[in-house]
Amino acid sequence: MLVIESWVINDDNPVPVPSAVVLEALRSRIDRGLLETWLTSSSGRSLVFVTNTQRAMVMLLEEEGDSGEHAVDPGAQGSSDGFVLSDGQDDEYRDEDTVPVGEAFRLVKQIVDTGSWPSDARRVVDR
């Protein structure tokens, strides 16, 4: 029997967020100035989305304390700031370690839908 993970946004309603509406939820949070979103799966994994509205850091963590893996944009030049965390910290990341926000949305939707990165996703394992 195939069991599909369900995902919830940590600081929102504890009701699972289906992949069909996860992007709407992320956009709504961004519109409210919430640029950091943590989703937790029913199997205990975490999916992290932090954006400056142009680029995003997307990380998938297997368990608490895991260094995980994150999406990358090989060859991207420079860095971007404005990645404001929920505690008010304003981070700057190398563009190579983030992806354009449209790509980040695609990655998050796929992970919430299937539990896995898209086969063509570029990512680095940090473990």
pTM: 0.92
pLDDT, mean of residues 82-99? 95
> Which pLDDT belongs to residue 97?
97
Q: Specify if 1 maps to a domain.
A: no
Query: Residue 2: inside a domain, yes or no?
Result: no
Q: What is the mean pLDDT of the chain?
A: 93
- CA 71 to CA 78: how far, in whole Å? 16
Query: What type of residue sits at position 37?
Result: T
pLDDT at position 11 is: 78
Question: How many structural domains does the chain have?
Answer: 1
Q: How confident is the model at residue 1 (pLDDT cuts 50, 70, 90)?
A: very low
Q: Is residue 106 part of a domain?
A: yes
Quickly count: other Cβ atoms within 10 Å of residue 87's Cβ: 6
For residue 102, tell me if it sits in a domain: yes
The pLDDT tens digits of the residues spanning 12-55 come to 678 899 889 999 999 999 999 999 999 999 999 999 999 999 99
Structural domain boundaries, residue 53 = 7-125
Summarize the confidence of residues 81-88 as an average pLDDT: 94
Average pLDDT over residues 67-75: 95
Backbone angles phi, psi at 68, to 5 degrees: 70, -155
